[in-house]
Amino acid sequence: MTRYFKGLVVRESGSRPAVAELRLPEVGPGQVRVRIRAAGVCHSDLSMLNGTIRAPYPLVLGHEAAGEVVEAGRGVTRAEVGDRVVLNWQPACRNCWFCGRAEPWLCSTSSGIAALENGITLDNAPVHVGLGLGAFAQQVVAPENALIRVPAELDFDRAALLGCGVLTGTGAVRNTAQVAPGESVVVIGLGGVGLAVVAAARAAGASDVIAVDVTEAKQGLAEAAGATDFLVSSDALSKEIRVRTAGRGADHAIECVGRAATIRAAWRATRRGGRVTVVGMGSNDDLVQLSALDIFSSARTLRSSVYGAADPDIEIPRLAADALSGALPLDHLITDRIELTEVPEAFDKMARGEGARSVVQFS
């Protein structure tokens, strides 16, 4: 039976995404068809749109999503029809060297795949799906290991955030930086991920959570997430942070922008022996320059946090439980609830640094 559905498609480089009618493939063995109910507008989608992440076209965007299973293929054991699920855009194979070292976020099978074909067609021609999902669509067909069940009581819009922004931000604090009670944390960049970092740092017991953005408009969102201080980024940022940290600099700086300039700012804001964690995904030609003497004498650690250095199969159910119990507030992360046709405008707002997360709601 042929199925048609609406999805947001970028037809060629530089073009504006638009809603188009796509043809969904039949569900094969080990695959599941999911009706998407909510999808967050993530900066990685914008990066594929503006060329920071190079992807093939035509392309269905979207990867941070939640929905309900409407069909399961032969041999599927992880989900049943009617289950509420969060989609995992980087499902681990569980067989490669990295997975064998309990590092599924570095899985050699799924890591680094910007887009792939999975049988979806547009005008009878193959279409690529962003990060293996293409979730700005009414329905998707995905491998069963890309699905993680969550309680039916969890709203779809909050569940969608767990699949990327919240898992990435929370994991950066808990798993990569390993923020301890009483430590100070600087968070640079207050999009959806950055605000999740702020909340996770506060929950970890950080004494000072200094939120930094380029616009004062983010101050209210930062304070709602748990920031103790808010600063507008400037050339004097490192001095302002030292004033707030007994002259030393912060124990941790977590960069959520993905630019060389903000990574250097995070480096300068951190004390000697401190930790700099890069969460933002930048471009291949934006080079970070640090002097050899600075690296040696500062004794700082610089590392990235890929997908929160998390195992989504384990941590997303935990985050869902925390969201339901109230231990992990999520409503403040959603600044706009929109329709699929409004996603291009949401990208424009994101490019201007406005708001936190826009979430597409599907009826």
The residue among 89, 152, 154 whose CA lies nearest residue 116 is: 89
Report the chain's terminal Cα–Cα distance, integer Å: 23
Kind and range of the H or E run holding 116:
strand 115-122
Per-residue confidence (pLDDT) for residue 2, from 0 to 100:
53
Contacts of 327 (CB under 8 A, 6+ apart): 203
How far is the CA of 48 from the CAs of 22, 57, 109, 279, in angstroms? 20, 10, 20, 17
Give yes or no for residue 1 having a pLDDT over 60. Answer: no
Per-residue confidence (pLDDT) for residue 246, from 0 to 100:
95
How far is the CA of 213 from the CAs of 222, 283, 352, 356, in angstroms? 9, 20, 12, 12
Average pLDDT over residues 16-38: 95
By DSSP bridging, strand 184-188 and strand 250-255 are parallel
The residues spanned by each domain of the chain are: 3-149+330-361, 167-306
Task: Read off the tokens for 98.
Answer: 């990295």
Over residues 201-254, the pLDDT tens digits come to 999 999 999 999 999 999 999 999 999 999 999 999 999 999 999 999 999 999
CATH architecture designation of domain 3-149+330-361: Alpha-Beta Complex (3.90)
231 φ, ψ to 5°? Answer: -130, 140
Class of domain 167-306: alpha beta
| The residue count for the chain | 363
Q: One fold for both 3-149+330-361 and 167-306?
A: no
By DSSP bridging, strand 147-149 and strand 139-143 are unpaired
pLDDT cut 70: percent of the chain above it: 99
Looking at every residue in the chain, the average pLDDT score rounds to: 95
By DSSP bridging, strand 18-24 and strand 334-338 are unpaired
